[in-house]
Amino acid sequence: MLDQLAAGLAEIMTWERMGFALLGCFLGTFFGVMPGLGPVTAIAVLFPITTYLDPLSGIVMLAAIYYGGMYGGSTTAILVNIPGEVASLPAALEGYPMTQRGRAGAALAVAAISSFTAGIIGSLGVIILGSSVAHLALRFGPPEMLGLVLFALTAVAGLVSGSMFKGLSMAALGILLSMVGYDMISGSTVMTGGTWTLAQGFAIVPVMIGLFGIGEILRTLTTRGHSAKSAPLGKLMPTKKELKDSVAPTARGTAQGFSFGLIPGMLPSIMALLSYSWERQRAEKKGGSQFGNGDIRGIAGPEAANNGAAMGGFVPLLSLGIPTGPSMALVLGALMVYGLTPGPTMFTQNAEFTSGILVSFLVANVILLILNLPLVPMWARLARVPFHVMGPLVLILCLVGAYLDRNSFFDIFVCLGAGIFALLCHKASLPLAPLVMGFILGPMLQETMRQSIAMSGTFYLERPIFMAFAGVAILTIAWSIWRARRHTTSLRRAEASS
């Protein structure tokens, strides 16, 4: 295994390939920083260029673009509260409040460091595991996936600190919204009111940019006084305490992300939300939680989980050709174009090439860390630009991002609508994160449920993995309801008045 690594390293460490990696990191970061353009778009758009290179250089550049896109996405989320992709949502939830407190630098640095850690450990994990656990992926049929989705939905409990009822209602609303459009399974239109515009359905990126980016602008505009002033510029790098607080969440996020990432369907973005939920619950139990007001643990954990899951996903992808999400599907397409069919041979006959790929992830992570840390002061200064300059700029960025996701004008209106909706939710103190969670899990819930029932009317009795996940899900929900009820009477009063 070590010689594999060494061989891979030797392949990558040429001036030419390092140059492509650096270029890829720059291009990827550029795409990632633009809201609406994430790693997936970056790869899709830049992919044709890489086909002119030899396969390994092409993959090196793609890996760099992919990671650049992921790092860049967190930057926009932290600085201007626009999560350009679901995985950056925790970075917006906790990072943006930190920016307002003048801790943007710390948030950016911790995001980069924890992504980096998970990326490095994850790459090593893929090399060590090889194809040995790949067949785990085949154990996860529709019923098991259904169990996993139910389990993931329980994360709602940790996405809100207040009323569980409000959280679940928002998640249900998210599921409903995700169903609007053309239903591929039945071939009919759902909740479209007969218009073909709505048959496109809602895409998550414009909805999320609207909820958070536009929502924040509207909030600033409607609150008179101090909130429109620019954020102070505090100490740029993380304090000792902030770093110390990030260590454990990063370790947990990496481990959770990587192990769940081995399962197909467990998207890195879902893992980021799960990790956020778990870290928040843990912090609240221990006391001293700053969650919701900029807690560094809510950045460290999810950033690591996202990157860890992305790495774990390479095990089923490389050995069985099973993509665990859209970006993995894109990498699969890239491999096909290079004439490589994923399969067990990727770790035997093509081992050199595979270790080349994995080493290129390591290299991309190192380059991005070196690239991003010195950039932190520059980005952080952006947060000081006054609102009358920054506001219109962010608004334009949001709308352009919403349009670019599917090249659709409809999405611009969706984005604006979501922004207004977010403002109303804020006034009614309804949490938005569960809505996003429901939105991404909704289609999976629907699909796996239909599949499981079609496979067998009594699937829930036949599949032990499903039973385990469903059991844990029910217990978690029951426990959080019980905890919420016991918590305070004031909570109950708030619930009654809403």
Partner 1 sequence: MKHLKLASAVVAACALTLTACGDDDGETDYPTEAIDLTIPFGAGGATDLAARAMAEALADELGQPVNPTNREGANQITAVSYVNDATADGYTLLADGGGSSTLQSLLEDLPYEWDDRTFIARVASGSHAYAVSANSGIETMDDLIEAIQEDPSSFSIAWLGGTSTSDFTTLQLLAEIDVDANDINWVPFTGSGDAMQAAAAGDVDLAVGGTSATAALYSSGDLIPLAKTGEDPNFPDVPLTADEGFPELDMIYWVGLSGPADLDDAVAEVLATTLEGLSDDEDLAASFEDLGMVVDVLTGDEFEVYIETEAETFAELDGALED
Beta strands in 65-196 (DSSP E): 181-183, 188-190
Q: Which range, of 1-9, 19-27, 195-203, 471-479, touches partner 1 by CB under 8 A?
A: 195-203
Per DSSP, the three-state class of 34 is coil
Query: Alpha helices, DSSP H only, in 262-345?
Result: 268-286, 297-312, 314-320, 326-337
Nearest to 295 by CA among 158, 119, 427, 479: 158
246 burial class (0-12, 13-18, 19+ CB within 10 angstroms)? Answer: buried
Nearer to partner 1, 94 or 405 (CB): 405
CB of 87 vs partner 1, minimal distance in Å: 17
**Position among 219, 282, 450, 483 found at the interface with partner 1 (CB under 8 A):** 450
Q: Is 141 in the site for partner 1 (CB under 8 A)?
A: yes
**Position among 193, 287, 339, 374 found at the interface with partner 1 (CB under 8 A):** 339
Per DSSP, the three-state class of 413 is helix
Q: Which range, of 40-48, 367-375, 479-487, 488-496, touches partner 1 by CB under 8 A?
A: 40-48
Q: Is 458 in the site for partner 1 (CB under 8 A)?
A: no
Q: Is 48 in the site for partner 1 (CB under 8 A)?
A: yes
Nearest to 135 by CA among 342, 316, 310: 316
CB of 468 vs partner 1, minimal distance in Å: 18
Q: Is 326 in the site for partner 1 (CB under 8 A)?
A: yes
> Binding string to partner 1 for residues 67 to 106, with x set by CB under 8 A, is what?
----------------------------------------
> Binding string to partner 1 for residues 259 to 298, with x set by CB under 8 A, is what?
-----x----------------------------------
Cα separation, 427 vs 13, in Å, equals 55
420 Rama sector, left if φ>0, alpha if ψ -120 to 50, beta otherwise: alpha
Within 10 angstroms of residue 360's Cβ, the number of other Cβ atoms is 28
Nearer to partner 1, 67 or 347 (CB): 347
Cα separation, 316 vs 262, in Å, equals 6
> Which residues make Cβ contacts (< 8 Å) with residue 490, sequence separation at least 6?
none
Cα separation, 72 vs 81, in Å, equals 13
Q: Is 409 in the site for partner 1 (CB under 8 A)?
A: yes
Q: Which range, of 37-45, 57-65, 216-224, 225-233, touches partner 1 by CB under 8 A?
A: 37-45
CA distances from 93 to 83, 182, 326, 435 (A): 9, 31, 24, 14
Q: Which range, of 89-97, 155-163, 313-321, 426-434, touches partner 1 by CB under 8 A?
A: 313-321
Number of residues lying near partner 1 (CB under 8 A): 55
Q: Is 343 in the site for partner 1 (CB under 8 A)?
A: yes
CB of 417 vs partner 1, minimal distance in Å: 17
Cα separation, 259 vs 80, in Å, equals 32
Q: Is 320 in the site for partner 1 (CB under 8 A)?
A: yes
**Position among 77, 330, 414, 470 found at the interface with partner 1 (CB under 8 A):** 330
Q: Are 205 and 440 in contact (CB under 8 A)?
A: no
CB of 175 vs partner 1, minimal distance in Å: 17
Tokens of 90: 């925790």
In the window 204-263, what residues touch partner 1 (CB under 8 A)? none
Provide the residue type at 166 as one letter.
K
The site for partner 1 (CB under 8 A) is made up of 40-41, 43-45, 47-48, 51, 134-135, 137-139, 141-142, 181-187, 196, 199-201, 203, 264, 319-323, 326, 329-330, 333, 336-339, 341-345, 406-409, 447, 450-451, 454-455
